[in-house]
Structure 1
Amino acid sequence: MNRAAVVTGSSRGIGRAIALRLAKDGFDVAVNDIESNHSDLEKVRQEIESMGRKSIAIIADVSKSEKVEEMMEEVVEKLGSLDVVIANAGICYVKSLLEISADEWDEVFAVNMRGVFLCYREAAKIMIKQGKGGKIIGACSTAGYRGYPMISHYSATKWGVRGLTQAAAQEWARHNITVNAYCPGRIDTRMTQTCNEELAKLRGLTVEENESNSVKNIPIGRTGQPDDVANVVSFLASKDSDYITGQSILINGGLSFS
């Protein structure tokens, strides 16, 4: 019987890597993002289909309750079931805590925290109804264990994801649903590149200097790649992780510890 997964925010970066890895693992994969990323999302869908798996592309804003509900139902309707949900979508930008407006704060929480909550909730409803358990996996961050200056809003959302993951894991364990999160550190994505550029300006450094200084703090000695994260998510989505739940796993080259 085919297994189906959905990965939010999967038009590029970590989300794309996860979607492709799950397809390689034998899942049919629904990919999701917002309208502005439609073209890149279609390319990911085509890549998955070229691997011999079914795929659908769903445009939906994960901060909208009705859109998340519709997305999960569409996955079941078109791919036959809902076995794994990866709540990956997230946003981040660099700004001083004194300068963040209430609207900007709410925007980051809408995607990074509310979006994960909605994906967790709607996925669990369907998985409980299906009666065969499932895997729910959320995007946390190294910033979910240590708050970082200039991204306080982002840090706060990721601490929230970690708490939500622990609570959900305990509530849904009796339904054979595991709930875990992955916590990337410095990963080579467009979002990281943008943050690096903004931080370099604030510190009066070149982009290359700021990047070099950041990498010096990583014991393994390199910036992570999206596949480094996808490898861990692959494990969490597999039966090999059946006895693991409520955990938020750091993937940061030894930058920090739980």
Structure 2
Amino acid sequence: MRFPYLEHVAHEILPTIEILWEISRAFNPESDGSVSEFYQLSRELAERHEDLDGLEKLQALQDDFYYQLGFSDAPETVVGAQRVLLDSVVSYRTGLPISLALLLQETAAYAGLQLEVIDFPGYPLLRFDFEQESYFVDPVQGELLKGRQVQERFEDITEQTLDFSWDMFETADQKTILRRYLTELKHAMIHDHAFANALTVVHMLLAISPDDPYEIRDRGYVLEELDCQQAAVDDYQYFVEQCPDDPSAQMLRLQLETWAAPQQVLH
């Protein structure tokens, strides 16, 4: 499978949002209606707040995005693809934090505000730099956080197993954002038992990170679910060879041995 819009991610030739819309089209060819709806809403918000600036404009946009338009976090503990794919999130007004973050970032851009995606533990945050100070937006409900609040949240999530450093809050590059987004989409497709679509997502991830042993392992799992055992064997063997000390490698070794053993035929 080839995905031209993913082939130059390392050079960030295409805007991230355009790549995300292309990903939606790969699974829903009728998604252009939702894309048009989103940009119409973004234009209306931008016009409504064109007299505001800086932090005041950001807070007004957040209020409209979450309270007037009704965007909210997914209510399910384990979500399906409709909570990840941007066109579905626009239609249902509900999605995972990473999807909400990316839509809010684009809405703000339409209004002339630059928000940066931060690869924060748990789920991404958005950073807004204004008057020599950084503010952070939690995409779940639009809560605006300042420095100390972000540090406390980091320590809670990591249980202080990592040392906090502001160097971690630099803008995430396109590859990092897309890998995180596609990983969520892969898990959602597997949850939906949409294994053919999950296989497409794994191939998208491999287009970004070729020969990644963990993605090849996951491809093996999806192929196994699609009854393509020999192809799954090849992928599992590759993973075991590349990551022999990974906890899942021992289980896969046993599975491969079971598949290789002669099957007794009863008469």
Specify the TM-score bucket, using the shorter chain as the normaliser. under 0.3
Bigger share in strand: 1
Bigger share in helix: 2
Question: How does the TM-score come out when normalised to structure 2?
Answer: 0.27
Question: How does the TM-score come out when normalised to structure 1?
Answer: 0.28
